[in-house]
Amino acid sequence: MSGAATLPRPRGPSRAAALLGWLRKRAGAMLVFAALIVLWEVAVRAFGVKEYLLPPPSKVWVEFWKRHEIVMGGAWVTTQEILAGYALAVVVSIPLALTIAYSRFMEQSVYPVIVFLQIIPKIAIAPLFIIWFGFGFTPKLLLVFLLSFFPIVVASIAGFKSADRDVMDFARTTGASSLRMFLKISLPQALPQIFTGLKVGAALAATAAVVAEFVASDKGLGYLLLQYNGQLDTPMVFAIIVLLSLIGLAVYYAVEVIERIAIPWHVSQQGGAQDVAL
């Protein structure tokens, strides 16, 4: 895009002010969150709820801290699975979406297959992966890949095909090459939908990794979760659930930050809608 660098851009608050605004906007949500945790703590103690049913948050923290080395090791394993599977999904699905969007043959042959495969409950395939690929890293990576792949590919195809007819007609009256039309029009036009797919895929990636570890594993958070569950060590189960949520949140936010950098025009257009989504 041609920079309008020499034009004055006096709009918008400074970076620091933006951060302050961000904090202020989220202060309410954070307060409610903190209040819920306090309520949980107080209620559990007041009613004498058994610890193996519902431990108070303070107990969860204490237990977690006692075994944080084991747990963090597991978290690292799971994070690697999520990142690798997700990266693979991104790298495969976007180029595939491109070829489907721009090739009649691919659209007629490959796309219907993808639509059909999408219907299969992917998680049900996890045991098969164990048979095929054993207990190691590969089946986890593949399940993460499989779950994140479909939303990204479907959203990207829709994105690449979303170019408005009049916009494309205008571009045709400039005599631009297909490549230039793609780079200047179709690609930027597709980005919002691609990012929607990327975020859905990111949200599914953590689920996929845990499920794969449930099925067969000797490490990772999913494995630890089952272990602690078997021992009725409920505080540790809670600790791991929190940790998994944090990992999922981190991946999701990373994608959102990239989105904000890549398509600021779209994010600002949506205003606060993004914040509500989380």
Can you tell me which of 169, 179, 273, 276 binds another protein, judged by CB under 8 A? 169
**What part of residues 205-264 is at the interface with another protein (CB under 8 A)?**
263
* Shortest Å distance, C-beta 175 to another protein: 4
Q: Quick one: how far is CA 61 from the chain centroid?
A: 26
Cβ contact 189:120 at 8 Å: no
The closest of 272, 245, 267 to 79, measured between CA atoms, is: 245
* Sequence letter at residue 155: A
Can you tell me which of 185, 203, 242, 249 binds another protein, judged by CB under 8 A? 185
Q: Give dist(CA 72, CA 78) in Å, integer.
A: 10
User: Of the two residues 116 and 177, which places its CB atom closer to another protein in the complex?
Assistant: 177
**What part of residues 112-141 is at the interface with another protein (CB under 8 A)?**
none
Using CA atoms, how far residue 56 sits from 31, 37, 157, 238, in Å, is: 19, 9, 47, 10
Alpha carbon dihedral 167, 169, 170, 175, in 10-degree steps, equals 130
Stretch that binds another protein, among 18-26, 43-51, 184-192, 198-206 (CB under 8 A): 184-192
The closest of 211, 231, 215, 214 to 63, measured between CA atoms, is: 231
Can you tell me which of 50, 174, 261, 276 binds another protein, judged by CB under 8 A? 174
**What part of residues 186-205 is at the interface with another protein (CB under 8 A)?**
188-189, 191
User: How many other CB atoms are found less than 10 A from the CB of residue 58?
Assistant: 14
User: Of the two residues 127 and 264, which places its CB atom closer to another protein in the complex?
Assistant: 264
Burial 158-183 (b: 16+ CB within 10 A, else e): bbbbebeeeeeeebeeeeeeeeebbe
**What part of residues 1-60 is at the interface with another protein (CB under 8 A)?**
1-2, 4, 7-9, 11
* Shortest Å distance, C-beta 265 to another protein: 4
* Shortest Å distance, C-beta 186 to another protein: 11
Can you tell me which of 171, 204, 209, 240 binds another protein, judged by CB under 8 A? 171
User: Of the two residues 113 and 261, which places its CB atom closer to another protein in the complex?
Assistant: 261
Q: Specify the DSSP class assigned to residue 26.
A: H
The closest of 198, 199, 170 to 184, measured between CA atoms, is: 170
* Sequence letter at residue 200: V
**Residue 158 engages another protein in binding (rule: CB under 8 A):** no
**Residue 265 engages another protein in binding (rule: CB under 8 A):** yes
* Shortest Å distance, C-beta 129 to another protein: 40
**Residue 269 engages another protein in binding (rule: CB under 8 A):** yes
Residues whose CB falls within 8 Å of the CB of residue 129, separated by 6 or more in sequence, listed in order: 138, 139, 142, 143, 212, 215
Tell me the site size for another protein, rule CB under 8 A: 30
The footprint of another protein (CB under 8 A) covers: 1-2, 4, 7-9, 11, 164, 166-167, 169-176, 180-181, 184-185, 188-189, 191, 263, 265-266, 268-269
